[in-house]
Structure 1
Amino acid sequence: MKNKEPLILAVVVFFSLVTYYLVEPYAHHVMHKHVESENFAYADLPAITKTGNAANGKELVMNAGCAGCHSIEKAGMPAPMDAVMAAQSYGVNPPDLSDAGAIYDAKFLADLIKNPAHALKVEHKYDAAQGKMHPMVPFYGMGGDMDQEVADMVAYLQSIAISPADVTPKIAFENACGRCHSVSYEKWTQVGSKPAFKHKKDELAFDIKVLEYQDSLKAYMGKLPPDLSMYIRSRNEQFISTLIENPQNHLAGTAMPRVGVTADTADKVIEYMKDAGDTKRHERESVGMNVMIYIVIFAIFALLWKKQVWRDLH
């Protein structure tokens, strides 16, 4: 009787390799495909070829109807309606533009002003040819050179914004993601941080506002965007970064818009998510460093003690 062990080994190896391929490479490149970063270059968007004039941009922003939907708190322009009413009107609450110039890429802002559906990469959802207009009305110009006017508006938004270096992870997240996503671990809702209430009725009233907002958001997006409290722990940083950069690369046809943030802002969004998903992260890293220092010092003393004990025996 021939030795069947090599045949059995070959069969086991074959099925082990097939199983490995289905679980590891196939699952990663098909079910969770790797997407290379585009380095937040937004190469599909036209470059700004004009030098913007912030003073002219201010006049254009004030007169072009931006304040009809957006607040600009730094310019003393409050929101025309509360978040719930805004979401009922537009699907989502339009952002305050005070720091837009520091958070969002300049090319993205320019294209967003001229063609919102294109800049946000949601033309599959809002096709003007089929009469489906994006809730944000495009800017058609004020009678002059439209490219110059848009460059002026972007220059104005950049002039009133804080320095990009001063954009904190919290500011970055709340502006870029916080109107669609909640972070319950940080008590963040789509209408703002949930405060501590003295009376239960006040808390219930706030919760009702959140639910009403979410109803409008679900109708606008097709489903309620997920709470991001633990998202950083279920997805890696590269996935989240490239998803922020261009959601269509991961989820073709998704209603999630391209956010249009700078690479630095995206890093700060991820930093916020790290802190939310692991509140003891910095403390743990500090303790880990102290432990390593202790081990090194202990090893030095152990070596010196060993030499002392064995000195007379060698």
Structure 2
Amino acid sequence: MRELKILAVVVALTLITYWGVEPFAHSQMHPHVEKADFKFTDVDGLNGLEGNAANGETLVTSNCTACHSIEAKGFPQVMDNASSAAAYGVTPPDLSTAGKLYNADYLAAFIKDPATASKVSHKFVDGRVHPMPGYSWMQPQEIADMVAYLQSIAPKEMSNKEVFTDACQRCHAIKYADMQKGTMASFTPDENIKSYMGKIPPDLSQFIKSRGHEYLTTFVNDPQKHLEGTAMPRVGLTEDSQNQVISYLEEVGDSKKAEREELGPKFLIYMVIFAIFAFLWKASKWREVH
């Protein structure tokens, strides 16, 4: 019994120390931020307007296809990635999946004022302007129509990799996803993205381990929460799209997670059984001594 009492005291002191130190350390290394706002309540979005996809088609194809491709509707990329990156600083996205990837209110706000919606107005001062012009001069109903059109042509389902490719790969590489062929490199050449962002965005192959699921959930939704003044824009993904991006990061950077989580309970059960047998063996040996 004496040994059990000693063990209980050691365990209690360890838990008290851990409980007192770990939360404080965590709060210093990872300050609390508000949860992700997937309704984007702070943007000037649709404001309840219902869009007309037929009208939106005319508006999108006449205003957007000079820079953006819409492969799903037969509008190919105007310039190759290198040329478009040299012209705009970053490769413009194909709009075929925008209606699925992005929150509708965010899309509307972005069309009106890209820098404000994506929270990067601080980058565009002293004569610098966002490469995409704002369409705040349009009528709110026209903006709603454009959003409705983008939603109408968007695919119903996308794989995790497809979501990552369309949402993140214009700026970020994830080389561990394809080490042999290099197809998961950033679409925008390094020299262009460095000039546009201030530095080369990090490769995301191991970000699920270096940052963790909780951090990424809030960071992608609003990078300014963690890194005030960062050049990374708020992407505007829906909750489902963001979850798919993070799932893909787990597939690439933590592919053994499921196996590890499955092994954990089995290992703990083994340790408990081993501890019981060890205690019974010790008790039998010391009984002979006494």
| Residue of structure 1 equivalent to 2:277 | none
| Residue of structure 2 equivalent to 1:240 | 216
Secondary structure, in 3 states, of the residue corresponding to 2:49?
Answer: coil
Which of the residues 171, 187, 194 maps onto 2:182? Answer: 194
Which of the residues 134, 142, 162 maps onto 1:171? Answer: 162
Normalising by structure 1, report the TM-score.
0.72
Partners of 2:131 and 2:103 lie apart in 1 by 21
For residues 57 and 224 of structure 1, do their structure 2 counterparts lie closer, same or farther at Cα, with a shift above 3 Å needed? same
Q: Kindly indicate whether the alpha-carbon contact (under 8 Å) linking 1:53 and 1:156 is maintained by their aligned counterparts in 2.
A: yes
Aligned residues: 251
List aligned pairs for 1:32-111, cutoff 5 A: 32-48=30-46, 49-64=48-63, 66-111=64-109
Partners of 1:94 and 1:211 lie apart in 2 by 10
| Residue of structure 2 equivalent to 1:135 | 131
Structure 2 segments unaligned to the other structure (5+ residues): 1-16, 271-290
The aligned amino acid for 1:56 is N
Partners of 2:256 and 2:67 lie apart in 1 by 39
Normalising by structure 2, report the TM-score.
0.78
Q: Kindly indicate whether the alpha-carbon contact (under 8 Å) linking 1:28 and 1:34 is maintained by their aligned counterparts in 2.
A: no
The aligned amino acid for 1:35 is V
Structure 1 segments unaligned to the other structure (5+ residues): 1-16, 196-205, 296-314
| Residue of structure 1 equivalent to 2:155 | 162
Which of the residues 118, 123, 147 maps onto 2:140? Answer: 147
Identity percentage of aligned residues? 46
Q: CA deviation at 1:283?
A: 5.3
Q: Kindly indicate whether the alpha-carbon contact (under 8 Å) linking 2:118 and 2:233 is maintained by their aligned counterparts in 1.
A: yes
| Residue of structure 1 equivalent to 2:248 | 272
Partners of 1:137 and 1:214 lie apart in 2 by 24
For residues 116 and 98 of structure 1, do their structure 2 counterparts lie closer, same or farther at Cα, with a shift above 3 Å needed? same
Q: Kindly indicate whether the alpha-carbon contact (under 8 Å) linking 1:35 and 1:239 is maintained by their aligned counterparts in 2.
A: no
Q: CA deviation at 1:280?
A: 3.3
Q: CA deviation at 1:194?
A: 2.6
Partners of 2:111 and 2:59 lie apart in 1 by 12
Calculate the aligned-residue CA RMSD, in Å.
Answer: 2.9
Q: CA deviation at 1:79?
A: 0.8
Q: Kindly indicate whether the alpha-carbon contact (under 8 Å) linking 1:141 and 1:149 is maintained by their aligned counterparts in 2.
A: no
Secondary structure, in 3 states, of the residue corresponding to 1:124?
Answer: helix
Q: Kindly indicate whether the alpha-carbon contact (under 8 Å) linking 2:174 and 2:203 is maintained by their aligned counterparts in 1.
A: yes
